[in-house]
Structure 1
C-alpha cells in the first residue's frame, strides 16, 4: 500500500456541514503529519488556514491522495480532473446517496486513519470521453465517470437519432434521448430510467433509451471498449444537448454526430476495508436485508 504524505482536500460549496467536516479533516491530517493542500475555492471557506492552496490541476501534480468532502456530484467533478494524474481519491459523504463517497462524517477520523495507515481497498473505475462533431469538425468535448446523456434540453419534443456500436447499425429511434452509462453510473440516472445495476468491476457500458416511442426498446449492455456513435437526425426540430455527468453540457444540432469511447485513464477510487458494493445497494436503494423484513 502507498504511503501518503501530501493530501489534497476538495469540499463542496454552500454547506455549513461541509465546512464543519473540512475543519475536522484539516486538524486531523495536520495532527498526523500530513502536508495538506486546499483546492483554491475550498480554501475560501476556511479563513486563517495557513495551508498551501492550489488549483485542481496543480493539485493533481503534487498530491499523493485527494479527499473530497461532499456528495457523489463533488466526487464526479474531482474524478474527471484527477484520473489523468493517477492519484487515488477518497470520498467523505456530505451528500444524499453516497455511492462513491462512503466515509461517514461520524466515522471521519477512524476512516481517514485507516487509509493513512494503508488499510483500504482500491478500485479502478473507467471514464468515458464524448466528442460532438458537426460536418466532421469538433464542436464540443466532455468526460464522464457516470454517464453521457443525449437529451432535449429545455424542449419537450422528442429527438430522432440513429445508434451505432463499433460501426454497426443498432437502430433508429424517436425518444427523449439516450443514456450511455458506465458501471459506476448504473446506480445513478440510468437506474431511474430503467437500466440494470452493473457491478463496478464490469468492463461494460449500458445504453438506456429515455421514454422511447416504441414498446420494444430495452437497455443494451455492450463491451466497455466499444465505440458508440449517435447520429442526430437532420430533420429534428430541436437543438438537443449532450450532458456529461449532468455537469458539463454541450449544445448539439440536427445532423451532429456524438462519439463516445472509453477514456485511456482510469480513476483510482479508495474505500474503507469494510466496503461492500451489495451492502451499499441495500442501504441506498432500500433492498431488504433479511427475509424477516419481507413479512
Structure 2
C-alpha cells in the first residue's frame, strides 16, 4: 500500500490530443491543491516527456511517488516506457476508446483518488520487454516495451525474410509481413490480431507471432522468460522496421538484428477495482472492443 509520502509528490501526465484531457487535468490540479497534495511535476503532456532531454525533468521524475495517466491505452503505454527506469506506479484513467490497460473511467477519477489516499488499492506488476539493435555501428541503447517489439516490412509490398533465434539457436526462417515478440500484457494487442494466443499477464513469458506468414507450418510460440530472442533480417531488397509499442520505428537492414528479452524492470499498475484479468477480458470480448 502507499505510504504517507506518496501524497507529497505525484505526477499528472495527459494525452493532449484528447479534447477533455486539459479540463480533467485542471480539475485534478485543483482537487489536489485543496488537499495540500504537491504535484511532483507540472501538468505534463506525454509528448513533452517523449521529446525532453532535460536533466531537471529527469530528476523530478525520479522523485515521483506515483503518476496519474489521463488518456487511453496508448498514453499509458508511452508513460510506462518512460517511467520504467524509475519504477513509479501508474494509475490509468481512460479518456479513450479501448481502456483495456487503464484502471478507471473519467467519472471514477476522484473517488479513485480517495481510495488511494485511504490505502484501498493493490499494485500489479507487469512484465516488460527490453531490446537493443546490433548493427555495424555496434549496439543501440536499450529500449523498453510493455506490449511488444515488432519487426515489419514497413510500406514495401514485398515479403520480409527474417531468421528468429532463441538463445542463438535458429528456430525458424519466416517469409512474412513481419514478426511480433509480445509480453503477456501485449498478447491481447497486435499479437492477438495476428493469431497469437492470449496469455494471462501474471505469467512470465514471451510470445513470438509471425504476421501473415507465407507458410502453412508457421505457428506462434510461447517462450520462457529466461530466454533471449533475436531476429535478423535476411532480405537483400527489403528493409525491416523495428517498432516498440506501436511507436514510430527504426529501419533494420540486411544482417542487422534486434535482441529481445525480459526487462530488468517492471510496470507497476495501481489497481483499485476488484476485477480480474479474465473478467476484464470477458467484458471487452462481449463489447467487441479488443
C-alpha distance in structure 2 between counterparts of 1:286 and 1:100, whole Å: 17
> Aligned-pair distance for 1:23?
1.9
C-alpha distance in structure 2 between counterparts of 1:120 and 1:68, whole Å: 16
Structure 2 match to 1:15: 18
Contact 2:46 2:75 in 1 (8 A): no
146-155 vs 247-256, which moves further: 247-256
C-alpha distance in structure 1 between counterparts of 2:110 and 2:43, whole Å: 24
Aligned pair 1:179/2:180, yes or no? Answer: yes
> Aligned-pair distance for 1:37?
3.3
Structure 1 match to 2:211: 210
> Aligned-pair distance for 1:33?
2.4
Aligned to 1:200, the other structure's residue is in SS state coil
Structure 2 match to 1:239: 239
Structure 2 match to 1:191: 192
List runs of 5+ in structure 2 lacking aligned partners: 48-54
Q: How many residues in Structure 1 have an aligned counterpart in Structure 2? A: 279
Equivalent positions of 1:1-295 (< 5 A) are: 1-3=1-3, 4-5=6-7, 6-39=9-42, 41-42=44-45, 57-135=58-136, 137-139=138-140, 141-233=142-234, 235-286=235-286
C-alpha distance in structure 2 between counterparts of 1:40 and 1:56, whole Å: 12
TM-score normalised to the size of structure 1? Answer: 0.88
Contact 1:187 1:197 in 2 (8 A): yes
Contact 1:232 1:256 in 2 (8 A): yes
C-alpha distance in structure 2 between counterparts of 1:287 and 1:94, whole Å: 17
> Aligned-pair distance for 1:141?
4.8
Contact 2:11 2:43 in 1 (8 A): no
Aligned to 1:35, the other structure's residue is in SS state coil
Seen in structure 2, the aligned counterparts of structure 1 residues 287 and 224 have a Cα distance that, compared at 3 Å, is farther
Aligned to 1:259, the other structure's residue is in SS state strand
Contact 1:204 1:223 in 2 (8 A): yes
Contact 2:14 2:43 in 1 (8 A): no
C-alpha distance in structure 1 between counterparts of 2:115 and 2:239, whole Å: 49
C-alpha distance in structure 2 between counterparts of 1:275 and 1:83, whole Å: 24
Deviations 1:136-158 (A, max 9, x none): 72256532110000001121211
Seen in structure 2, the aligned counterparts of structure 1 residues 79 and 205 have a Cα distance that, compared at 3 Å, is same
Deviations 1:96-149 (A, max 9, x none): 111211211111111111012111121111211221112472256532110000
Aligned to 2:249, the other structure's residue is in SS state strand
Seen in structure 2, the aligned counterparts of structure 1 residues 40 and 105 have a Cα distance that, compared at 3 Å, is closer
C-alpha distance in structure 1 between counterparts of 2:193 and 2:210, whole Å: 11
Seen in structure 2, the aligned counterparts of structure 1 residues 122 and 168 have a Cα distance that, compared at 3 Å, is same
> Aligned-pair distance for 1:55?
6.8
Contact 2:164 2:170 in 1 (8 A): yes
Deviations 1:175-233 (A, max 9, x none): 11100000111111111111111111100110010000011111100012210011211
Aligned to 1:57, the other structure's residue is in SS state helix
Contact 2:103 2:273 in 1 (8 A): no
Contact 1:152 1:239 in 2 (8 A): yes
6-15 vs 33-42, which moves further: 33-42
Structure 2 match to 1:292: none
